[in-house]
């Protein structure tokens, strides 16, 4: 299975395993996503979801964040965002903030 999210958490791993990580371009990430992913996104992160969509990525947003238990053979695509300010007094980023931020995509593959 392939999952898509904004972060990687230790609790996502079901047990002992090895992980292989590789960087993806935006286009490579879109290709993986087009093949079908299980979104593991928090619906309350509306500002980050808006940024994701601004980059042309469309995935279903679950009504509640799912519990993920990655098994050997599973993949997780993580969209990392750097340079966006913490939103404390508003719920959206400005176009200028989005343009100044950097985005990276990583593919984590779970091995035995």
Q: What structural domains and CATH numbers belong to the chain?
A: 2-111 (3.40.50.11170)
Q: Which residue has the tokens 């935006």?
A: 26
What's the rounded Cα separation, in Å, for the pair 96 and 104? 18
Give pLDDT tens digits for 30-64: 999 999 999 999 888 777 888 888 889 999 999 98
What's the rounded Cα separation, in Å, for the pair 111 and 44? 31
User: Model confidence at 92, in pLDDT bands (50, 70, 90)?
Assistant: confident
pLDDT given at position 102: 80
Q: Is the pLDDT of residue 96 over 90?
A: no
Edge to edge, the sheet with strand 102-111 lists 18-24, 102-111, 75-82, 2-5, 38-39
| Integer angstrom CA distances of residue 9 from 13, 68, 87, 102 | 8, 9, 22, 21
Lowest-confidence segment of 2-6, 65-69, 89-93 by average pLDDT: 89-93
């Amino acid at each position: 299975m392939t999952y898509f999210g904004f972060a990687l958490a230790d609790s996502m791993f079901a047990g002992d395993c090895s992980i292989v990580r590789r960087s993806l371009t935006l286009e490579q990430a879109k290709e993986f996503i087009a093949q079908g992913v299980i979104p593991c996104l928090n619906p309350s992160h509306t500002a980050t979801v808006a940024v994701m969509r601004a980059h042309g990525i469309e995935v279903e947003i679950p009504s509640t964040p799912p519990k993920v238990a990655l098994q050997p053979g599973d993949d997780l695509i993580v969209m990392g965002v750097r340079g966006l300010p913490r939103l404390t007094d508003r719920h959206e980023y400005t176009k200028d903030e989005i343009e100044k931020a950097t985005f990276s995509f990583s593919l984590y593959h779970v091995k035995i």
